[in-house]
Amino acid sequence: MSTIESRPVHTREHGNTLVITIDRPRARNAVNAAVAHDLAEAVQRLDEQPELRVGVLTGAGGVFSAGMDLKAAANGESATVEGGGFAGITEAEPAKPLVAAVEGFAMGGGFELALACDVVVAGSGARFALPEVRRGLIAGGGGAVRLPQRIPYHLAMELLLTGETITARRAAELGVVNHTVEDGSAESEALELAARISANAPLAVTAAKRVARASTRQSEQQAFTAQRDELRALLASEDFAEGARAFAEHRSPRWAAR
């Protein structure tokens, strides 16, 4: 395992997983310009390094993120990154899977960071909210766009229009959270899940994510056409041949990502 630290965001490699930690606990891991740019760089690193297969996004000090740093914003700082949106992630659509490991509060932009991930693990004491309407705003970092796609419309609108906080248990009931675990163990559970994802063919994993993400913006016919193109490429890959051989030989595959 190797460790690389950068200003308010720390990254470390755990096998094939890149753990990305927002480390501003005194500010409840609120996102300012430095955090946004560091997160954008971390996601870029995840996509560019072939040995990395999955990212785990979490926060230090028992808090995921309180969202936008309002004090920094009042001083003219922007928490958006060109091409990446809020926090450098919410509009970036990284190619590789991201798992959110949520402890404590995921408020406003913090909730939107979790929604930008592909899988969410939460400690039982975690809390989620999109309170922007209480401050004269909307959940502009993806909350108003993504939440109605993830859960039934009327339930999404209740959260968006009231700004009320929900528990991890309720978030799991709604389908926003995949797994709830004991407080303090969200990251370890996320790492275990990331290892299970990493065990699969990397080309197939990223193709599955592309198809699933694109399907929310396409007609069903367009989605099936795109899926056929992905399948055609996968069938011609070395990894598909290796997967078939490994199955026939009763052994674990050795993926080449080719």
| Rounded to 5°, angle at Cα 161 from 160 and 163 | 65
In a 10 Å sphere around its CB, with 0-12 CB exposed, 13-18 middle and 19+ buried, how is residue 194 labelled?
A: buried
Return all residues near 211 (Cβ < 8 A) that are at least 6 apart. 223, 226, 227, 230
Return all residues near 202 (Cβ < 8 A) that are at least 6 apart. 53, 239, 255, 257
**What angle, 0 to 180 degrees and rounded to 10, lies between the N-to-C axes of helices 220-235 and 238-248?**
70
**Catalytic entry in 112, 158, 182, 189:** 112
The encoded tokens of residue 178 equal 């995949």
Count of beta carbons in the 10 Å neighbourhood of residue 156? 20
The answer to whether 18 and 98 have CB atoms below 8 angstroms apart is no
Q: 3-class SS at 33?
A: helix
Round to whole Å and give the CA distance between 254 and 258. 11
**Catalytic entry in 132, 164, 182, 230:** 132
Does 164 qualify as catalytic in the annotation? no
Round to whole Å and give the CA distance between 34 and 130. 23
In a 10 Å sphere around its CB, with 0-12 CB exposed, 13-18 middle and 19+ buried, how is residue 173 labelled?
A: middle
Chain centroid to CA 157: 22
The answer to whether 37 and 82 have CB atoms below 8 angstroms apart is no
Does 112 qualify as catalytic in the annotation? yes
| Catalytically active residues, by annotation | 112, 132
